């Protein structure tokens, strides 16, 4: 890992107190980036920032932030600028899931998932882009927004209709954001994981048993590996950090509107 690859990058990353966001934050800092870790769980976000600062290289601050609130997104942007002078990259990672069969979806399930996964992504993109536009274009490189999609951004899954709807929305925000922000020298890309072992998936594994879609804990992992993946194992946050690092780095300067699948080949099945 090149400890200077992301030097000079000031990155706001949402939902990075744990899971994939935390792994990415640590990987970016190890490559020299400065991080604002914005998460609903302010205590865990603060611990993550402490770990990053203790490791040396890139610096980190933590902000308690509910990404569904515009003012919290704006405050996280302001904190990033106050700490590091500017913002170059926004990575919109906060998300959640709660499976339901189609006829069991209710308004609460719909509103919770759509608000956190899709509406909040739009809010975050807009608030970060507003700051980037105010800063004026950088001389050599575009600003970057990076959206976290999912296999559910392009594959319909019977047990998670609302999650699919929300993540198809993340793909649309990536495409439309790329169109709408190009004139400001801001690129918009994303990545789409499949099964990543994180607290989100551990909860999902339990919930799938609760709704009767799977018979026992761990069965969802086994079924997906056997029936859907070309690479015959689930993934871990460390499987994601390389692609995420590429997308926030200068190496991805000449791409916009793309969602890269990191899903063990699920999306071609
Ligand atoms: N784990 C997977 O298999 C998988 C697969 C595809 C996509 N994803 C996506 O990757 C992203 C990260 O997932 P993960 O598995 O690391 O999840 P996780 O549950 O481990 O972590 C999610 C983080 O988001 C934070 N968060 C939740 N709601 C928030 C809010 N309103 N405001 C601010 N922060 C909030 C949580 O506090 C937590 O720290 C999500 O967008 C998820 O949909 C995950």
Determine which one of 143, 163, 168, 191 is catalytic.
163
92 CA closest ligand 1 atom index: 41
pLDDT for position 223:
97
Q: How far is the CA of 153 from the centre of ligand 1 (A)?
A: 15
Mutate to test the pocket of ligand 1, among 16, 94, 155 (most ligand atoms within 8 A of CB): 94
Q: How far is the CA of 5 from the centre of ligand 1 (A)?
A: 26
Q: How far is the CA of 18 from the centre of ligand 1 (A)?
A: 8
Within 10 angstroms of residue 195's Cβ, the number of other Cβ atoms is: 23
pLDDT for position 18:
98
Residues with CB under 6 A from ligand 1: 14-15, 17-21, 39-41, 65-68, 93-96, 116, 148, 150, 193, 195-196, 198-201
Question: On the CB side of 192, how many CA atoms lie within 13 Å of its CA?
Answer: 24
Domain 10-194+237-264 sits in CATH 3.40.50.720: yes
Nearest to 61 by CA among 125, 6, 16: 16
**Structure tokens that stand for 62 in this block:** 């933590």
| DSSP structure string for 41-109 | -HHHHHHHHHHHHHH-SS-EEEEE--TTSHHHHHHHHHHHHHHHS---EEEE-------B-GGG--HHH
**Structure tokens that stand for 200 in this block:** 């989100």
120 CA closest ligand 1 atom index: 31
pLDDT for position 1:
87
pLDDT for position 232:
97
Nearest to 24 by CA among 261, 201, 196, 166: 196
Give CA–CA dist 144/190, Å, rounded: 10
pLDDT for position 247:
98
Residue 37 · residue 63 · CB < 8 Å: yes
45 CA closest ligand 1 atom index: 39
Q: How far is the CA of 148 from the centre of ligand 1 (A)?
A: 9
Mutate to test the pocket of ligand 1, among 37, 200, 233 (most ligand atoms within 8 A of CB): 200
- pLDDT under 70: residue ranges of the chain: none
143 an active-site residue? Answer: no
Domain ranges of the chain: 10-194+237-264
Owner of token pair 């999609």 = 149
DSSP-assigned letter for residue 118: I
pLDDT for position 269:
85
Q: How far is the CA of 84 from the centre of ligand 1 (A)?
A: 25
């Amino acid at each position: 890992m090149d400890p200077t690859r992301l030097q000079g990058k000031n990155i706001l990353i949402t939902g990075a107190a744990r899971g994939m966001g935390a792994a990415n934050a640590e990987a970016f800092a190890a490559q020299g980036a400065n991080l604002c870790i914005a998460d609903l769980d302010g205590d865990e976000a603060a611990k993550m920032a402490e770990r990053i600062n203790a490791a040396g290289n890139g610096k980190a601050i933590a902000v308690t932030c509910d990404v569904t609130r515009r003012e919290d997104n704006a405050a996280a942007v302001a904190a990033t600028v106050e700490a590091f002078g500017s913002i170059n990259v926004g990575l919109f990672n906060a998300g959640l899931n709660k499976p339901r069969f189609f006829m069991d979806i209710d308004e609460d399930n719909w509103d919770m998932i759509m608000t956190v996964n899709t509406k909040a992504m739009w809010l975050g993109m807009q608030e970060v882009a507003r700051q980037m536009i105010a800063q004026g274009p950088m001389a050599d490189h575009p600003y970057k927004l990076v959206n976290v999609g999912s296999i559910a951004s392009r594959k319909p899954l019977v047990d998670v209709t609302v999650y699919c709807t929300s993540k198809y929305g993340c793909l649309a925000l990536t495409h439309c954001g790329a169109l709408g922000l190009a004139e400001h020298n801001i690129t918009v890309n994303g990545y789409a994981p499949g099964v990543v072992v994180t607290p989100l998936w551990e909860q999902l594994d339990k919930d799938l048993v609760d709704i009767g879609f799977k018979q026992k804990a761990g069965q969802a992992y086994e079924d997906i590996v056997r029936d859907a993946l070309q690479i015959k194992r689930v993934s871990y946050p460390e499987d994601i950090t390389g692609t995420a690092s590429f997308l926030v780095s200068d190496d991805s300067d000449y791409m916009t509107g793309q969602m890269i699948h990191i899903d063990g080949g699920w999306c071609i099945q």
